Amino acid sequence: MNVSGVAFKHFLRIIQNGYFIKSLVLTDKDSSNEDEKSRAENLKKDYESNVICVSITKCETFEKDIIEANKNDRGKTCLLRALERTRPNKAAAFKKQTGDNDLNIESFFEMIKSFKSEFALNLLDVLDEQCDGFVIPLYIREGFGYLI
Give pLDDT, residue 9.
76
- How far is it, in rounded angstroms, from Cα 105 to Cα 79? 11
Phi and psi at 82, nearest 5°, equal -70, -35
38 lies in the same domain as 90: no
CA distance 29 to 62: 9
Shared-domain flag, residues 17 and 66? no
Domain final position from 24, 39, 56: 56
Confidence class for position 43, pLDDT limits 50, 70, 90: confident
Please, what is the Cα angle at 117 between 104 and 69, to 5 degrees? Answer: 35
Instruction: Give the count of alpha carbons within 13 A of 17, CB side only.
Output: 6
Give the pLDDT confidence of 62-104 residue by residue, as tens digits.
999 999 999 999 999 999 999 999 999 999 999 999 999 999 9
Same domain, 52 and 86: no
Phi-psi sector, 101: left (phi>0), alpha (psi -120 to 50), beta? beta
Beta strands in 6-145 (DSSP E): 23-27, 52-56
Position 33 scores a pLDDT of: 58
C-alpha–C-alpha distance, residues 42 and 135, integer Å: 28
Write out the residue range of the structural domain in which residue 80 sits.
62-135
* 130 and 111, same domain (yes or no): yes
pTM, 2 dp: 0.84
pLDDT at 90: 96
Q: Is residue 1 part of a domain?
A: no
Please check whether residue 67 lies inside any domain of the structure: yes
Last residue of a domain, one of 37, 56, 75: 56
Q: What percent of the chain has pLDDT over 70?
A: 90
Total domain count, the chain: 2
